[in-house]
Amino acid sequence: MTTYTAPVRDMLFAMNELAGLEDIYSLPGNEDVSADLVEAILDEAGKFAAEVLAPINASGDRQGNTWHDGEVSTADGFKQAYEVFCDTGWNGMPSSTEFGGQGLPVTVSTAVLEMWKSANMSFSLCQMLTLGAVEAIAHHGSDELKSTYLPNMVSGKWTGTMNLTEPQAGSDLAAVRSKAEPRGDGSYALSGTKIFITWGEHDMAENIIHLVLARLPDAPPGVKGISLFVAPKFLVNADGSLGARNDLVCASIEHKMGIHASPTAVMVFGEKEGAIGYLVGEPNRGLEYMFTMMNHARLNVGLEGVAIAERAYQAALGYARERVQGRIIGDRSGETKPILHHPDVRRMLMDMKARTEATRALAYYVAGCMDRARSDADENVRKDNQSRLELLTPVVKGWCTETAQSVTWNGIQVHGGMGFIEETGACQHMRDARITTIYEGTTAIQANDLIGRKVAREGGHAMAALIEEMSVTRAQLEAHADSQLQKIGASFGKGILALREATDWLLANYERNPQAAAAGAVPFLKLAGTVAGAWLMARSTAIAIERMQGPDAGFYGAKLVTARYFVEHVLPEANSLRDAIVNGAESVLALPEELF
Amino acid sequence: MTTYTAPVRDMLFAMNELAGLEDIYSLPGNEDVSADLVEAILDEAGKFAAEVLAPINASGDRQGNTWHDGEVSTADGFKQAYEVFCDTGWNGMPSSTEFGGQGLPVTVSTAVLEMWKSANMSFSLCQMLTLGAVEAIAHHGSDELKSTYLPNMVSGKWTGTMNLTEPQAGSDLAAVRSKAEPRGDGSYALSGTKIFITWGEHDMAENIIHLVLARLPDAPPGVKGISLFVAPKFLVNADGSLGARNDLVCASIEHKMGIHASPTAVMVFGEKEGAIGYLVGEPNRGLEYMFTMMNHARLNVGLEGVAIAERAYQAALGYARERVQGRIIGDRSGETKPILHHPDVRRMLMDMKARTEATRALAYYVAGCMDRARSDADENVRKDNQSRLELLTPVVKGWCTETAQSVTWNGIQVHGGMGFIEETGACQHMRDARITTIYEGTTAIQANDLIGRKVAREGGHAMAALIEEMSVTRAQLEAHADSQLQKIGASFGKGILALREATDWLLANYERNPQAAAAGAVPFLKLAGTVAGAWLMARSTAIAIERMQGPDAGFYGAKLVTARYFVEHVLPEANSLRDAIVNGAESVLALPEELF
């Protein structure tokens, strides 16, 4: 069983020093936010995560949920924890003040959400889905829908879900078949089967508000014929009280590799008279509405990668500090020492630490772009940040979750044989992490979005702007008085070059040979993530070296070593990724299917 | 639930065309072996694996073993399958004819063992441990021990175990504390607790023969004071019948991430009067005896990596051929097609296929070295093959199992959301594979053996000989008439260079700065595996291109594409590994422990 301590100091570094939160405080709407307030929020959230959510993480994994006759019982302690979570106001914290949230900058709520995800990923998913549903209704729903549902969803009294996937419609939502028939009173009768519905049924809240994609009778085929509906588990009376049970039921829950305490439901709508649903916004625009919200959800899943990596790192480090085993090579002290002193254990821990910090830096940086894109007074700044946000959203989702795979894997390896024993807790982090590269769009879906919509179809301008900004950082480092920083700058320059060459190749080939471009899409996403991560790590060295003279010398010294590790061990992967993209498409595509 | 079809054609390619089995047939002792016989054995074994072992793989994973009062019940069907396995002679097949085995070349039994491991890794471990115990007794035991135990262990009537690990003695066996007191009649009273004992207790065989490491009363401390004992679950009477229950008991079994159907026991010896044990060989040489046998076990665990990768590939390919989802980019046919046509799904499958074939090529090649080292008439050939075998044993163990991690991971990814659902079966392969980089010595233990004993301490001669032979292959390809092969030769040349540079760096630094060398040990092992795998893939292209004109054109054409994929997508990793080794030691070692 592993414990969790929120890495508040690291989070503040990523927020203030890398994502530029100090500027964000001064943006319109953030007048009430200050550095002291943010630190106080993080401290309180850290306590809640450590004391309430982390202790039920392993037990929730062991126990899972139980389904009986359409009802789902959550694991011991979840209901109680959820009640306190909502009572303390944590559930609604990221939402707008209009509906009872605290309206904090995204950068701040990002750090707080990371804590929930680290402490208890299964638990955190309930809030994540609810927040997504809140966003969809808030942006696209009628005033009546908003006033009926949002206050209780923001407070957490009611939770929300996203009903997108169907057995034949996974990555391809164009294949959605669920139906919505007008009932004549402005509402609709929904029918169909939805699968993989996270927190689709449970016993933590008195009502569950399902957002459902379905087709109207006259809808055109494909993605342009899908509408979005609200279908509550219990209908809501005019006075806000709960009415009749709606015709939708949880037919079963899945037996999964991880996130055992998060129920994944098969939902059946309209087995009798049809589930009563209410149209969100205009007909046939459901997918478009889903996507506004899905982009934020993708950033949050990327953040899950950061969070679970952090948790796995803490567990491995704790074990490595305590476990004594073997003579340390080249050590003449004759003392027995913890395994942290073995060079390869250090290598694994440095690798976990460096990759986790780089993914956090990127996720928080992009959260900062979202804040600026929303609130900056200067239209050009808003536009530039929106463009950067759009470019990097698939990278955060794809690269941070892919990175979490190797970090949680190493988390087990550091434990040796004990790592494979479930009671140790290291396995759970790896099993939980495994879903993150799949849901909310697989890495390939993110990568196709990146190479298509975000790079090739806009002529590569957003990427060129990013590369330009990276080159400024490189030049600053190469011109620095410190020789370590010069070296980091030079190595970073090779990474930039690899990204530039791969981008040029992509721009030249995307239209002409789309299959070849797609064959290199995932390597391109990883390349973009690796170089963007290296950029923020490189920037952190320039900050760290200034502040190493101050009171926090150890902290900043560690930042320098960690960034150096990243540049020396992780960044070289950029070259092999570039090679695979630029030279490798033919061998991906050459084999006739019968010869696989 | 996934099925399994033994890849007999691929295995024959790796055996005959890459490992040179055709020459091995003519070695002394192999007079009865022929190509036809080998093919017939593989066909029969493939049927047994598919029809008997594969069907109880998923159910065994779900059910696991149950412990009750010291007894362990195996999952449904295991006992019956084991009975047929032994009756058919498969259990003893790899053993020497002297004790009832078939005395086939290692290369042949390697292919057969791969099938058991693919079909049901949990089941296969029972035989693997028994074979290890047989080898230890056969090489080091007295004639009495051999005649008492070996015939029943070879037939499988009795199974064997290895009792090495103790709570404080994992990778570091010098810390073993279990005791052995002389009983005055030539036997010993053993006491102590052993953990992680694979198949330490079960209900499939009438007796279990434990090999146990323990210390005699006057033994020197450390590794030179450990002796090896045989301690049967039931004592064996002079007439070979079973006698009294020995004083050793299974105190519990572990709850693990994978290989659920393989019981992992905590064994307690001598809670009462002491477990009766018999010394194997001479006192205080136990560790040395264990190591003769452990080297073969390490090759077999490496083979588990190949096997589980093959199984995961088959499962993913089967799904990709059936599942229809999404429009294929750049496809103007308008047809709906299975996901195998998506470029990124192809990329993942090619990656799985290429890495699996490369690891198989290496494992079989090294099995061939073992055959030649044992039986070749020419002493120099024996010596060269022994040297190559020793050099590559840690590489097969480390690299093949590390490779299986990414292959089984991709196996889930190809399945999308279904991959995360346990019923699909893809998760089990990833969970089962997770132990292979840990047991029989972690990857770091293998890597330290490689850089120390196998490279630095013998002056790099074995590695130089391997690089020399690789360079011949490269020169042949570069001089080939076919331009594809020329390109493969040139790319392979870069891989050789990376290995040479890293080896030179290692030789220059191992004595001077052993911690820096150890910091790069695992990257060096991966580099060696990647380049050795590329070597065999490169060799396969020269064979394939000749035979592409023949009747098996499709098969050989696929070999060419697969090798090209490996050289274009996997081999470039050699450069980043070299960079990490040569430039990266300082940043691994620089951080003070309190700053992690």
Can you tell me the mean pLDDT for B101-113?
94
Q: Which residues of A are less than 8 Å from B125 in CB distance?
A: none
Q: Which two tokens stand for residue A61?
A: 């994994």
Q: Which two tokens stand for residue B62?
A: 């779900």
Measured between CA atoms, how close is B204 to chain A, in angstroms? Answer: 24
Give me the residues of B, 130-169, that contact A with CB < 8 A.
165, 168
Percent of chain A with pLDDT over 90: 93
Candidates B329, B443, B557; nearest CB to A514: B329
| Residue A351: band (very low, low, confident or very high) from pLDDT cuts 50, 70, 90 | very high
Interface touch A519/B431, C-beta < 8 Å: no
Spell out the residues 6+ positions from residue B16 whose beta carbon is closer than 8 angstroms to its own: B22, B35
Bridge partners (DSSP) of residue B194 are B267
Q: What is the pLDDT of residues A354-380, one digit of tens each?
A: 999 999 999 999 999 999 999 999 999
Measured between CA atoms, how close is B374 to chain A, in angstroms? Answer: 33
Measured between CA atoms, how close is B290 to chain A, in angstroms? Answer: 18
Measured between CA atoms, how close is B345 to chain A, in angstroms? Answer: 9
Q: What is the pLDDT of residue A28?
A: 86
Q: Which two tokens stand for residue B285?
A: 């040489």
Can you tell me the mean pLDDT for A22-28?
86
Interface touch A442/B587, C-beta < 8 Å: no
The DSSP symbol for A256 reads: B
Q: Does residue A86 have a pLDDT over 80?
A: yes
Can you tell me the mean pLDDT for A295-322?
97
Can you tell me the mean pLDDT for A51-64?
98
CA A171 to the chain's CA centroid = 18
The whole-angstrom separation of Cα B80 and Cα A6 is 52
Interface touch B326/A568, C-beta < 8 Å: no
Q: What is the pLDDT of residue A412?
A: 98
The whole-angstrom separation of Cα B499 and Cα B577 is 9
Give me the residue label for tokens 């490996």.
B566
A125 to chain B, any CB pair closer than 8 A? The answer is no
A325 to chain B, any CB pair closer than 8 A? The answer is yes
Spell out the residues 6+ positions from residue B34 whose beta carbon is closer than 8 angstroms to its own: B25
Give me the residue label for tokens 């959301």.
B417
Q: What is the pLDDT of residue A30?
A: 86
Q: Which residues of B are less than 8 Å from A514 in CB distance?
A: 329-330
> Left (φ > 0), alpha (ψ -120 to 50) or beta: where does B442 sit?
beta
Can you tell me the mean pLDDT for B417-433?
98
The whole-angstrom separation of Cα B186 and Cα B364 is 42
With vertex at residue A302, the alpha carbon angle to CA A298 and CA A305, rounded to the nearest 5 degrees, is 150
Q: Does residue A75 have a pLDDT over 70?
A: yes
Q: Which residues of A are less than 8 Å from B10 in CB distance?
A: none
Check if the beta carbon of residue B298 is closer than 8 Å to that of residue B397: yes
- Among residues A381, A383, A527, which one has the least CA distance to residue A450? A527
Q: What is the pLDDT of residue A492?
A: 98
Spell out the residues 6+ positions from residue A463 whose beta carbon is closer than 8 angstroms to its own: A391, A454, A455, A499, A503, A528
B121 to chain A, any CB pair closer than 8 A? The answer is no
Q: What is the pLDDT of residues A377-405, one digit of tens each?
A: 999 999 999 999 999 999 999 999 999 99
Bridge partners (DSSP) of residue A95 are none
Measured between CA atoms, how close is B589 to chain A, in angstroms? Answer: 7
The whole-angstrom separation of Cα A453 and Cα A173 is 18
Interface touch A346/B588, C-beta < 8 Å: yes
A242 to chain B, any CB pair closer than 8 A? The answer is no
Q: Would you give the end-to-end CA distance of chain B in angstroms? A: 42
Measured between CA atoms, how close is A515 to chain B, in angstroms? Answer: 6
Can you tell me the mean pLDDT for A493-499?
98
3-class DSSP assignment, residue A211: strand
3-class DSSP assignment, residue B530: helix
Give me the residue label for tokens 């009795």.
B158
Q: What is the pLDDT of residue B350?
A: 98
Q: What is the pLDDT of residues A405-431, one digit of tens each?
A: 999 999 999 999 999 999 999 999 999
Can you tell me the mean pLDDT for A32-61?
96
The whole-angstrom separation of Cα B164 and Cα B178 is 10
Residue A229, CB half-sphere, CA atoms under 13 Å: how many? Answer: 27
The whole-angstrom separation of Cα A378 and Cα A368 is 15
Give me the residues of B, 336-355, that contact A with CB < 8 A.
340-347, 349-350, 353
Q: What is the pLDDT of residue A1?
A: 65
Q: Which amino acid is at B413?
A: Q
| Residue B535: band (very low, low, confident or very high) from pLDDT cuts 50, 70, 90 | very high
A593 to chain B, any CB pair closer than 8 A? The answer is yes
DSSP per-residue string spanning B4-72? ----HHHHHIIIIIIS-HHHHTTSTT-TT--HHHHHHHHHHHHHHIIIIIGGGHHHHHHH--EEETTEE
Check if the beta carbon of residue A305 is closer than 8 Å to that of residue A436: yes
Check if the beta carbon of residue B141 is closer than 8 Å to that of residue B148: no
A582 to chain B, any CB pair closer than 8 A? The answer is no
Candidates A168, A326, A576; nearest CB to B171: A326
Can you tell me the mean pLDDT for A59-79?
98
| Residue A99: band (very low, low, confident or very high) from pLDDT cuts 50, 70, 90 | confident
Q: Which residues of A are less than 8 Å from B175 in CB distance?
A: 325
Percent of chain B with pLDDT over 70: 100
Tally of CB atoms within 10 A around B235 = 15
Q: Would you give the end-to-end CA distance of chain A in angstroms? A: 43
Q: Does residue A334 have a pLDDT over 90?
A: no
Can you tell me the mean pLDDT for A513-541?
98
A450 to chain B, any CB pair closer than 8 A? The answer is no
Sign of CA dihedral B188, B191, B196, B200: positive
Q: Which amino acid is at A420?
A: F
B171 to chain A, any CB pair closer than 8 A? The answer is yes
Residue B3, CB half-sphere, CA atoms under 13 Å: how many? Answer: 10
Interface touch B515/A344, C-beta < 8 Å: no
A333 to chain B, any CB pair closer than 8 A? The answer is no
Q: Which two tokens stand for residue A578?
A: 């570039």
Q: Of B17, B201, B304, B440, which residue is the catalytic one?
A: B440
- Among residues A378, A531, A363, which one has the least CA distance to residue A14? A363
3-class DSSP assignment, residue B487: helix
| Residue A293: band (very low, low, confident or very high) from pLDDT cuts 50, 70, 90 | confident
- Among residues A181, A208, A213, which one has the least CA distance to residue A194? A213
Measured between CA atoms, how close is B483 to chain A, in angstroms? Answer: 15
Q: What is the pLDDT of residues B327-374, one digit of tens each?
A: 999 998 888 899 999 999 999 999 999 999 999 999 999 999 999 999
Average pLDDT over chain B reads 96
- Among residues A192, A171, A62, which one has the least CA distance to residue A122? A62
Interface touch B590/A325, C-beta < 8 Å: no
Check if the beta carbon of residue A421 is closer than 8 Å to that of residue B254: yes
Interface touch B584/A576, C-beta < 8 Å: no
Interface touch A569/B587, C-beta < 8 Å: yes
| Residue B1: band (very low, low, confident or very high) from pLDDT cuts 50, 70, 90 | low
3-class DSSP assignment, residue B312: helix
DSSP per-residue string spanning B572-594? THHHHHHHHHHH-HHHHH-S-GG
| Residue A212: band (very low, low, confident or very high) from pLDDT cuts 50, 70, 90 | very high
Spell out the residues 6+ positions from residue B249 whose beta carbon is closer than 8 angstroms to its own: B70, B267, B268, B271
The whole-angstrom separation of Cα B594 and Cα B596 is 6
Which stretch of DSSP H or E encloses residue A276?
Answer: strand A275-279
Candidates A257, A353, A447; nearest CB to B420: A257
Q: What is the pLDDT of residue A300?
A: 97
Can you tell me the mean pLDDT for A458-472?
97
- Among residues B357, B302, B290, which one has the least CA distance to residue B113? B302
Candidates A256, A447, A590; nearest CB to B420: A256
Of 1.50.10.10, 1.10.10.10, 1.20.140.10, 3.40.630.10, the CATH number of B1-435 is: 1.20.140.10
Q: What is the pLDDT of residue B145?
A: 98
B440 classed as catalytic: yes
Percent of chain A with pLDDT over 70: 100
Can you tell me the mean pLDDT for A48-73?
98
Question: Best interface-test mutation with B: which of A266, A346, A484 has the largest number of B CBs within 10 A?
Answer: A346
Q: Which residues of B are less than 8 Å from A565 in CB distance?
A: 584, 587-588
B473 to chain A, any CB pair closer than 8 A? The answer is no
Tally of CB atoms within 10 A around B241 = 8
Q: Which amino acid is at B498?
A: A
Q: What is the pLDDT of residues B552-565, one digit of tens each?
A: 999 999 999 999 99
Can you tell me the mean pLDDT for B60-79?
98
| Residue A23: band (very low, low, confident or very high) from pLDDT cuts 50, 70, 90 | confident
Greatest CA separation for chain A:
85
The whole-angstrom separation of Cα B398 and Cα B529 is 8
Beta strand B179-182 with B71-73: parallel, antiparallel or unpaired? unpaired
The whole-angstrom separation of Cα A222 and Cα A218 is 12
Can you tell me the mean pLDDT for A81-106?
93
Can you tell me the mean pLDDT for A257-267?
98
Beta strand B158-163 with A242-245: parallel, antiparallel or unpaired? unpaired
Interface touch B448/A422, C-beta < 8 Å: no
The whole-angstrom separation of Cα A383 and Cα A2 is 43
Q: Which amino acid is at B547?
A: R
Interface touch B172/A409, C-beta < 8 Å: no
